[in-house]
Amino acid sequence: MTEPTEKEKMLRGELYHAFTPELVAARARCKHACNRFNNAGEVSRRRLVELWRDIVQDPTPLPPPLDDPAADEAQFKRDPWIEAPIHIDYGFNVRVGEGVFINFNCVIADTCLVTIGARTLIGPNVSLYSATHPLDPAVRNGTEGPEMGKEIHIGEDCWIGGNVTILPGVTIGKGATIGAGSVVTKLSMEDLLLVPGLSLSARQCGSMADSLHLILRPRCRTRIEPTMRLIQAEIDGQYNNGSRPIIGGTVVTPGYYSLCIELEDECCKADHGDSSSQPRTVHEVCLSSNYIAQ
């Protein structure tokens, strides 16, 4: 059996060595493609789409040019709108849906696949890191050691605020909103608003200094309990590596927390017999200290 190449191991999320001639050349190609896009200046929409497709190695041919500039530009209204500068490692591991907007200074470390669903909005200075390294420094070993990656998936109709960092292995469900400045370590749910700063949840137990910064906007009553169960599972999963997770830009300490629901529309409010727009506490989540490595 033929030994897999370092690129093949990289794409499978296995440990691989990044400084092989094939991968160095692939990063150099993408760097030059990004430079051409970032330095394009005042060019047509057609040219920007062409340069973007070169970055991500999209072989789809451009439509024939039209004499009328406005009509020609209209042919690309479904293509993603990317603001320069953008920085990507490989390009071939990035999939961006129709109608996506990516603001300036976006960084995508696409060691593994990074997908962004249709109509999603990405704020400025957002970083998507699918690359990671061994925690043992002896194994990590600088440029001589191996690294690895985990896929990142952002669903359709999401809003990722400015200065958000999304770490390897994260899946963000359809319609989610991630507040500016958040560090997303593990998230996989729909219709979630995640914000840093002061929590709107009603209380916390014990002497814990931090609180859980989660605000849900359910679209219907039947979504609340399944979403809560999923949150509990996701939070518990944060502790698998023995470290304290970061949710909404804040390190979460163990303890008991109340989650807060903001009812999104009049139908949902009526379903709960609540005509106010005030947040409601509907569920308690336990973050057990047993998961914390002392």
Coil, helix or strand at residue 25 = helix
Give dist(CA 179, CA 133) in Å, integer: 27
For 101, which DSSP code? E
Give dist(CA 160, CA 30) in Å, integer: 24
Please report, for residues 28, 96, 167, 185, 205, the alpha-carbon distance to residue 111 in angstroms, rounded to integers and kept in the order given: 14, 16, 12, 17, 41
State residue 179's pLDDT score. Answer: 78
State residue 126's pLDDT score. Answer: 98
State residue 183's pLDDT score. Answer: 81
For 153, which DSSP code? E
- Give the helix ranges, DSSP H, for the chain: 6-11, 21-38, 45-56, 69-74, 137-140, 224-237, 266-271
| Spans of the chain, pLDDT less than 70 | 186-294
For 65, which DSSP code? P
State residue 268's pLDDT score. Answer: 41
Catalytic (active site) residue 133: yes
State residue 211's pLDDT score. Answer: 37
How are the residues of the chain apportioned to helix, strand and coil, as percentages rounded to the nearest 5? 25, 25, 50
Vertex 156, ends 126 and 51: CA angle to 5°? 60
pTM for the structure as a whole: 0.69
**What is the arrangement of strands in the sheet containing 101-102, beginning at the earlier edge strand?**
81-82, 101-102, 121-122, 159-160, 177-178, 192-194, 214-216, 255-261, 280-287
State residue 73's pLDDT score. Answer: 96
User: Which CATH code of 1.10.220.110, 2.160.10.10, 2.60.120.330, 1.20.120.550 fits the domain covering 10-184?
Assistant: 2.160.10.10
State residue 177's pLDDT score. Answer: 78
Q: Which of 133, 153, 213, 283 is catalytic?
A: 133
State residue 143's pLDDT score. Answer: 93
